[in-house]
Amino acid sequence: MDPYDDPRWRVAERVAAALTRRFPADVLAVAVHGPLAHADDDGGGTGEVGLLVATYRPDSGPRSTSRRVDGVLVELTVTGSEEYVREARTLSPRWPLTADRYVTTRPLHDPTGWLPKLRDEHLGRLARARPAEFSAAARQAWYKGSAAHARAARLAEWYETDQALLMLAEARLAAATVSGLLSRTYFRDAGDAVRRTGLAGADMTEVGAVLRRQAGELTARGRPVDGTVDDLLDG
């Protein structure tokens, strides 16, 4: 399906036109990110539209919000352009889930060519990143996954099934994020992350096994996930 024939794309174009008409002095760039930004995505016109809106100044222009327009969920993420650049230069534990919005965008309004500059800033940061930085970010993501998995197991023992499933989903996503950091792989979104890492249907035991393997890899990279009080205070 040609993305430009997708009903979601037509909604995105209407929103971008309204943004530039109502906030001409504030909006620097508008772009589609997420699944629709990939030419091979086929949402059948029923998925969501993620719009990245960069403003000239922080706290100006429209607000970040979500609303359904003609049956299509539109999510506006509005940030000052300098803040976007700072984020693009940051290697955080959520990098596998955020990098795609810097690398893969489809411009709807970009008269100054700002979007390619944002992409170059992010790719330049990755080129300079040391392996230890990815390992450190992966370790932080692993702690969250391990805690969520332990919580899910306890809830399952207490027959709190719904809550256990929610925590298990959180553990799956965290483990997928660790995998992305250890392999320097980013994903289109959370669903893509768990699918591509084989964790989408993983049960409690399988997720636990993945987390144990990841703990071993982090140890092999020079720093175990467990430590002493002094280790904690030394960072």
- List per-residue pLDDT tens for the chain, 235 residues long: 455 678 899 999 999 999 999 999 999 999 999 888 987 665 554 568 999 999 999 999 999 999 999 999 999 999 999 999 999 999 999 999 999 999 999 999 999 999 999 999 999 999 999 999 999 999 999 999 999 999 999 999 999 999 999 999 999 999 999 999 999 999 988 999 999 999 999 999 999 999 999 999 999 998 899 989 988 888 7
Q: Which two tokens stand for residue 3?
A: 């993305």
Output the pTM of the full model: 0.91
Q: List Cβ<8 Å contacts ≥24 apart for 197-204.
A: 199/172, 199/173, 199/175, 200/172, 202/172, 203/168, 204/149, 204/152, 204/153, 204/156, 204/168
Task: Identify the burial level of 232 via C-beta atoms within 10 angstroms of its C-beta, where 0-12 means exposed, 13-18 middle and 19 or more buried.
Answer: exposed
Residue type at 131?
Answer: P
Check residue 2 and give its pLDDT: 55
pLDDT value for 35: 83
CATH of domain 3-128: 3.30.460.10
pLDDT at 92: 96
Residue 180 pLDDT: 98
Annotated domain spans of the chain: 3-128, 131-233
Write down the pLDDT at residue 20. Answer: 97
Under the phi-then-psi rule, with left for phi > 0, alpha for psi from -120 to 50, and beta for the rest, what region is 38?
Answer: beta
Do 137 and 95 touch, CB atoms closer than 8 A? Answer: yes
Considering just the CA atoms, what is the radius of gyration of the chain in Å? 20
Contact residues for 167 (Cβ-Cβ < 8 A; gap 6+): 148, 149, 151, 152, 155
State residue 210's pLDDT score: 98
Cα gap 78→100, rounded to integer Å: 16
